[in-house]
Structure 1
Amino acid sequence: MPDSRRSRRVRVTAAVLAAGALALSAGCSSGGGHSPARPSASKKPSPSPSPAWNRSPASLAAVGDSITRGFDACTVLADCPEVSWATGSDASVDSLAVRLLGPAAPTRSWNYAKTGARMSDLPAQMGLAAAEHPGLVTVMTGANDACRDDVTAMTPVASFRTQFEQALHTLRAASPTSQVYVASVPDLKRLWSTGRGSPLGKQIWKLGICQSMLADADDLGAAASTRRGEVYERVVAYNEVLRDVCAKDRACRYDGGAVFSYAFTGTQLSPWDWFHPSKDGQAHLAKIAYDRVTAPTP
């Protein structure tokens, strides 16, 4: 082959190889072929880490029902907030506020719970608590949603969930950094089983306390047992809601069912109604809450 033709062929081959290399390079940079793909614009960002739980909040607001108001703990059919597990000042109770805040407890804690309150009342209570911008909000409610005149009047689980979600939304809208401690609903069936040994307690129950569970306290027949079983299952469902909704909030701790599982004894129940916690019972609730709030992890 003449030198001129050989030289011309070498130059053409080199040009083809160079063009191929250039095309391959362009394909890699554009994400084609087997090259690493660029991050998609629709890819969700990594979730932000949960904020560190402050085990020593500087203030506390309590919301909930009669238990947090200390109902029947000091006298019959009356509130006694000074023995509240959450905000009480009674030394024998050693409330959560006293344990966390010390001498500052009287001026840095607020009790917005109300006897008779149900979950539907919690959003309004939470609004009052949020206005204080507390470091911690304690929640104990749900017993009155199950304690109705009849099982058919118990709050539906779906409504209970919606109302609790609304309450947390109310708090977050006004006080986004407040931490929340959620106590489980007590085991009402266990309270019935313990309290029905008191003749005085059963007389008080007839005045209208938690009839869905406590009516005809000595009736162990099939219908009464079925009724109490329905109340028990509804409380279990409520606690599942408290757990699930709290888990979706980055600054919320559920007690893991500690209050539900706690076996109140006779001395820890009110000597007047044998259903609400006595001073001793309030003290045990305070300890449960303190242990959960100050634990390194939930």
Structure 2
Amino acid sequence: MTSISGRLTDLAHRLSRIVDVPADDELEGVLIAAGWEPSTRRDHRVFQLDEMLAYTRSHHGGAEIIVDIRDFGDPQDLDREEYADSDHETISAQLYADAEALADSIADELDLPPAGPFDIDPLEGWHFDPYLFRAGHWVLALADVQQDSDLPLIVEAHFAWGADLEGRLTALVAPPAHPPAVDWTTITRLLPTDYRWLVDTYGPGPLGGYLDLAAPDQLLPTPDVGRLVWPERLTAATTDDGTTISWLTQSNRPWENDPQEQVNSWNLLLSRPGHDREYHCCLLRFLVLALTGALPEALPRRPRPGPLLPNSSDVPPRLAP
């Protein structure tokens, strides 16, 4: 029988061919091609392979496959009358130890490289350190998880689109050979890490013909229009049609001890006359989604004249060659 790690590695390699955000039917097709079958116990969007269950989630900003590898049950459901208090605590602790050991053993056998620094969007809301792997533009996170103390303990594999966004953006928009250098030592304010990468790679100013990236020494709060605005809006980019893309400078991860991680979790706000829309993603992810058509409302319909894509008349294909 093929091992669990082998099944997951196979699924990861199949997903790695999908470059951009897919629809649910594409994800289901990947599962079926990998030997998964619709579960007879649940609705048609749940698939089963051996003892594992998988379900899909896709939306205009992302896509996921979640695999429940093994359900260890709810430790609180142990029969307290059957065990003395010390025995109950020992057995409850053993459930967690067994789940962690299974996750450890699968992680050790996965034939995948580790994930990179931009592979997990801090606004995605899930981190399964230390088991993070990359498969093309997908991340595989592996862990034993329990969403609440009264819910089952499950070893879970979570595949999510959004890895190697730097590589995807540079394939969509070729960076200049010699972008203007920025002296970051003169910038006293903490700024998102992905923005720093964008400025270092493309320089401030035009990016892809669609927008102008604000220079770090020219980042200005959006003016208050007669009322207190909180959180502060810090304009990151502008477009020719009057659209501004701003950070809402309030951390979505206030429990983080690292101030940089708190800054990395700022939401984005797209504003144009008569319209505001908030996006729960970092600027790099937003640009990739917008340029691949996953956020059709995000940028002007037509770029300025000049090169954008390798074939500027076409949206890049979903599948890698």
TM-score (normalizing by structure 1):
0.25
Higher strand share: 2
Structure ranking higher on relative contact order (CA contacts 8 Å, 6+ apart): 1
TM-score (normalizing by structure 2):
0.24
